[in-house]
Structure 1
């Protein structure tokens, strides 16, 4: 298996993004704040626009098995001037057949490097549902530290509440970990 990673660009990749994004929302509603019903009704998803515009402050990195998009992770820089030193990693998803193969780790590493390549970015935020132990372990392995739990963050269609853990990674910590090997 030869998996490649790159920022998504152009109309064809924007369409592939839309398909995989709607797939993850449909099959894993407890993992994402957006709903399949709301997003599928839109003519264009927010990140489809960013992909088409090749936006450097809002982008999606994809994991590809040949030409098939098998994983995504998005970066969104804070738009307000006082918060422009920070960005969020969101929409992390790997197709089930590819999970457990280190693809998520490599995909997130690419997003982190691309985000920190933006000179002004000093800190990244990421989150996961408390029940998603695998994601939380991966984020810790990549250097993220927990800073809070939001109780009852989401209430999905089945009436169940889901708590979410928020984590951060400072650029200085990331660079130190990179140099330590």
Structure 2
């Protein structure tokens, strides 16, 4: 059996990162549907259910959407194509309004490992740090997704727990989620 060659390091891609707009909803749905189908263990939503949603149903992911619960969704564009997204949410309840949550981080497979996720995450953290009421940001990540865990750790997140069997796959397999947080100030 031949020895596997060392993985090549793909060069970083600089892309346009901006807030999601109403006109982006169909592209967002297309990206999300593809990611849910291709990586079912990475998301708590399931592809079949989400496929039935229309693009307009993601309007709540726009800045200030869902009655203010969605702070923003950032999108990454490369050559006019949506290649990544990240959303940040928070609650309005007084005792927890200082906590934001990163949800729905995704980068298309063909540009994975090229720095787009890091660019999205760093821009999201910069925006969160600019919100005076926010002090802490949390996220959950599939424990076996070592590349994502390393990315989050390199941006200052620490694991504070693991939810064993957080996701039950259609075949009955259980998937663990790491719970991570980062102080904003």
Counterpart of 1:7?
Answer: 19
Question: 2:181 & 2:118 partners in 1: Cα distance?
Answer: 16
Question: Residues 34-70 of structure 1, C-alpha deviation per residue, up to 9 Å, x if partnerless?
Answer: 111121222356543332x654651210111021000
SS for the counterpart of 2:28 is: helix
TM-score, normalisation: structure 2? 0.85
Aligned length: 170
SS in 2 for 1:33: coil
Offset of residue 3 of structure 1 = 0.8
| Runs of 5+ unmatched residues, structure 1 | 173-181
Normalised TM-score (structure 1): 0.87
Partner of 1:38: 49
Query: What residue ranges of structure 2 are gaps of 5+ in the alignment?
Result: 1-12
Q: Is the 8 A contact 2:43 2:104 kept in 1?
A: yes
Query: Residues of 2 paired with 1:64 and 1:72: CA distance?
Result: 9
CA gap of 1:160–1:133, structure 2 versus 1, over 3 A, is same
The alignment status of 1:140 with 2:150, answered yes or no, reads no
19, 24, 28: which one pairs with 1:17? Answer: 28
> Is 1:68 equivalent to 2:81 in the alignment?
yes
2:161–2:178 CA contact under 8 A, matched in 1: yes
Structure 1 runs (4+) greater than 4 angstroms displaced:
none
Contact 1:15–1:48, Cα closer than 8 Å, also in 2: no
- Structure with higher Rg: it is 2
Aligned partners of 1:126, 1:50: CA distance in 2, in Å? Answer: 16
- Whole-angstrom CA distance in 2 between matches of 1:38 and 1:96: 22
Q: Tell me the alpha carbon deviations over residues 14-44 of structure 1, each in whole angstroms, 9 at most, x when there is no partner.
A: 1111111111111111000011112122235
Residues 57 and 111 (structure 1 numbering): CA distance in 2 closer, same or farther, change over 3 Å? farther
1:140 counterpart SS class: helix
- Quote the residue 1:176 is aligned against: none
Q: Deviations over 1:90-117 (max 9, x none)?
A: 1111111111111111110011111222
Pairing 1:160–2:169 present: no
Alpha-carbon distance in 2 for matches of 1:37, 1:45: 17
